């Protein structure tokens, strides 16, 4: 199995480059006092063999962009900013399916030429995450990362 240990960190660095002033975490259960912020976590994977007998792992990566916490004084204004952030992320991931950022200036060797694709998003949503003291308001993006895997022959 190949080492993909920096996959979520690469997502985080690209997200921090895309939305100025935000912070991104390589885990789902995270909390920041300032907005917006990102959380990232791995979803399921499927494995395929391509035409050259090379193993391919297609890994789901979920990214949440949190724009507010739901509290008694919540007035809904952060939701308006969300739409601009959505467009920024769509453009950033379309521009670099290889997860290149100011921190990671070259593509990882484990990433297939098809790289990372945005599969979709869930629209405005509310998240109740274990360990986070508030209901989070934001959007979740679903990506597919295609990566090379060693094949036993």
Name all domains of the chain by residue range, CATH numbers in brackets.
7-149 (3.30.70.1700)
Taking the C-alpha atoms of residue 6 and residue 19, their distance in angstroms, rounded to an integer, is 20
Reported as a pLDDT band with limits 50, 70 and 90, residue 54 is confident
Our CA dihedral for 144, 68, 27, 118, rounded to 10 degrees, sits at 10
**Mean pLDDT value of segment 41-45:** 95
Instruction: Out of 32-36, 51-55, 135-139, pick the least confident.
Output: 51-55
Q: What is the pTM of this model?
A: 0.90
pLDDT at residue 30, as a whole number? 92
Contact 59, 16 (CB under 8 A): no
What does pLDDT average to over the chain? 90
């Amino acid at each position: 199995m190949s080492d993909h240990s920096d996959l979520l960190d690469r997502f985080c660095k690209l997200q921090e480059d895309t939305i100025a002033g935000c912070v991104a975490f390589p885990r789902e259960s995270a909390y920041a006092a300032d907005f917006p912020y990102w959380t990232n976590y791995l979803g399921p994977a499927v494995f395929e063999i391509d035409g050259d007998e090379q193993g391919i792992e297609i890994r789901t990566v979920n990214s949440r962009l949190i724009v507010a916490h739901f509290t008694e004084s919540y007035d809904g204004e952060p939701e308006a900013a969300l739409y601009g952030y959505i467009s920024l992320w769509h453009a950033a991931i379309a521009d670099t399916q290889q997860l290149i950022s100011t921190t990671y200036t070259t593509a990882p060797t484990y990433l297939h030429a098809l790289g990372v694709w945005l599969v979709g998003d869930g629209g405005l949503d509310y998240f109740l995450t274990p360990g986070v003291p508030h209901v989070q308001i934001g959007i979740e993006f679903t990506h597919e990362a295609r990566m090379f895997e060693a094949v036993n022959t």
